[in-house]
Amino acid sequence: MRAVVLDGSWQGDQTSRTAREVLEEHLKENGWKVRSLLLRDMDIRPCDGCLRCWTEHPGLCSGTDQGRMIPGLYITSDLAVFLSPVTFGGYSSQLKKALDRMIPNVLPFFERINGEVHHRKRYEVYPKLVAIGVLPKPVQSGEMVFRALVDRNAINFYAPAHATGFMYGTEDSDTIRLGVRTILSRVGVMA
Amino acid sequence: MTGQPQRVLLLIGSPRGAQSTSASLGSYLLSEMEKQGAETEVINLYQYLKSDEGRNDLLEAVNRADILVFTSPLYIDCLPAPVIAALEAIRERRMVAQPPWRQHLVALVNSGFPEPEQNATALAIYKQFAREAEFGWAGGLAFASGAVINGKPLKDSGFIARNARKSLEIAAEALARGGPVPSAAVKLADKPLVPTWMFLLNANRSWKHQVKDPAVWKEMEKRPFRKNT
């Protein structure tokens, strides 16, 4: 089983670093192959909306930077983890620059699903999705928006299961460890 | 907001810049506000964020404004990454210093889906930004089926864009008076531009015209990546 961790944290964010290390450790102990991407250190340019991934070479981004590999890494995984500081209730620009490059993984065509229009699947199976939002302290309004956003992403990324959790800057590594274990168990990853 | 003539800054958050539907919607609101006496300025976020100089110019422009109008497409259920980068930079600057007057923020979001409610998380993020960066929240408008407008000036978009135009006219009048975006404007923006069945028919057919190469058309559903088991 393969997992990809998309780490959208900023330099100096110790909570995110601990969360990522604990995630990697737990997953590897349980036989997972883990690929972590520290997005702030990668050359990933913004999606330019050219749509050539739909109109010229279906399923492949035409960019020449490291963002080109994001759709493939994501779709060949069984579990995807979004790790990000909760930024105005959403993801950091570091995580989002990677997610914006994922549209090749769906088709340009639309269909109605549960009464709402979505892009059709390109692939038969998509990874489970776990999102971990990191904050200095609990912020209810921001966390509500973050949960709603992950719920929407899970629909549009066709995640067969998804879970959202939060880690706070005040937490020690044991609490983070417990939090990571709990979130993973909610998508059926590890007991 | 005071009801005095306003300095309004339009921040376009689309990679298509001035040719985008985001620009069409924002420019129409701006032109309506100019009729009400507003001074206006336009910034293309994708261009300005490419250099330190552009970033500084952006932050200076934000500091001059009474009202910021963000206009952006829906990308992966929220804002495009460069727009988030701009919000991060603006908040960082405001933690150090901000103008002594109360500034307000308006957000316009458009998507390729026919249901405006798909834009709700993006609007909620703008609202949360306003709260955290200490702007007054003057409201947001969600527009569906942006591809129907497809970057054309709204005034030239005919009958199909009538509700979008009216919504923005109502919003401009209220903002110029110093009020928030009224619910009447929100309701008009929320009205689908076309029925869902028509959207599905036209949107799915339109790709046939956009794909120039017949060989590519045959491979539209190709799966270039496979799991190694």
Chain B (31-50) residues lying within 8 Å, Cβ to Cβ, of chain A = 46
Residue B195 has pLDDT above 90, yes or no: no
Please check whether residue B191 is in contact with residue B163, taking contact to mean a CB–CB distance below 8 angstroms: yes
pLDDT-derived band at B159, boundaries 50, 70, 90: confident
Distances (CA, A) of B70 to B66, B140, B164: 13, 9, 16
B207·A108 Cβ contact <8 A: yes
β-strands A106-113, A116-121 pairing: antiparallel
Tally the domains of chain B. Answer: 1
pLDDT (average), residues B57-77: 97
B59 touches A at CB < 8 Å: no
Measured distance between the N- and C-terminal CA atoms of chain B, rounded to whole angstroms: 61
Per-residue confidence band for B2, with pLDDT thresholds at 50, 70 and 90:
low
B122 domain residue, yes or no: yes
Which two tokens mark B149? 């407008």
pLDDT at B191: 87
Q: What is residue B103's DSSP assignment?
A: P
Q: Count of alpha carbons within 13 Å of B52, Cβ hemisphere only?
A: 0
B48 within domain boundaries: yes
**Domain assignment present for B216:** no
Q: What pLDDT sits at residue A74?
A: 98
The count of residues in chain B is 229
d(CA B138, nearest CA chain A) in Å = 17
Token pair in block for residue A175: 């609490």
Specify the 3-state DSSP secondary structure of A42: coil
Contacts of B60 (CB under 8 A, 6+ apart): none
ipTM over 0.90 threshold = yes
Nearest-angstrom CA–CA distance, B68 and B79: 16
Residue B176 counted as domain residue: yes
Q: Which amino acid is at B62?
A: V
Compute the nearest-CA separation of A140 from chain B (Å).
11
Beta carbons of A96 and B87 less than 8 Å apart: no
Q: Cα(first)–Cα(last) distance of chain A, in Å?
A: 15
Residue B2 is assigned to a structural domain of this protein: no
Low-confidence ranges of chain A (pLDDT < 70): 191
Model confidence over B6-16: pLDDT tens digits? Answer: 999 999 999 99
Indicate whether B148 pLDDT > 80: no
Q: What local confidence, expressed as pLDDT, does residue A191 receive?
A: 54
Residue B1 domain flag: no
Q: A6, A35, A70, A110: best mutation site toward chain B, by most B Cβ within 10 Å?
A: A110
CB contact under 8 A, A54 and B77: no
Scanning B175-214 for CB atoms below 8 A from A yields 196, 199-200, 203-204, 207, 210-213
Residue B66 lies in a domain: yes
For the stretch B104-139, pLDDT in tens is 999 999 998 988 889 999 999 999 999 999 999 999
Long-range contacts from A36-40, C-beta under 8 angstroms, 24+ separation: A36/A4, A36/A5, A36/A7, A37/A4, A37/A5, A37/A6, A37/A7, A37/A70, A37/A73, A37/A98, A38/A7, A38/A9, A39/A6, A39/A7, A39/A8, A39/A94, A39/A95, A39/A97, A39/A98, A40/A8, A40/A9, A40/A10, A40/A11, A40/A94
What's the pLDDT tens digit per position in B202-223? 889 889 888 989 999 999 999 9
Answer yes or no: do B225 and A71 touch at CB < 8 A.
Answer: yes
DSSP assigned state of B75: B
Lowest-pLDDT range of A15-29, A110-124, B33-47, B183-197: B183-197
Q: Is residue A94 part of a domain?
A: yes
Count of domains in chain A? 1
Across the interface, whether the CB atoms of A75 and B225 are under 8 A apart is answered: yes
CATH code of the domain containing A89? 3.40.50.360
Q: Do the Cβ atoms of A58 and B126 come within 8 Å?
A: no
A69 interaction partners in chain B (CB closer than 8 Å) = none
Residues from chain A that touch B151, judged by Cβ atoms under 8 A, are none
State how far the Cα of A4 lies from the Cα of B144, in Å rounded to an integer.
33
A129 within domain boundaries: yes
> Does any CB of chain B come closer than 8 Å to the CB of residue A42?
no
pLDDT at B80 over 90: yes
Helices (H), chain B: 21-35, 45-48, 52-64, 81-96, 120-132, 146-149, 162-176, 183-190, 196-210, 214-218
CATH number at residue B154: 3.40.50.360
Residue B185 covered by a domain = yes
- Domain coverage including residue B45: 7-194
Please report whether residue A96 resides in a domain: yes
Q: How confident is the model at residue B193 (pLDDT cuts 50, 70, 90)?
A: confident
Range of the domain at A120: 2-186
Q: Is the CB of residue B84 less than 8 Å from the CB of residue A90?
A: yes
Contact A100 B75 (CB under 8 A): yes
Average pLDDT taken over every residue of chain B? 93
Query: How far A111 CA lies from chain B's nearest CA (Å)?
Result: 7
Query: Is residue A191 domain-resident?
Result: no
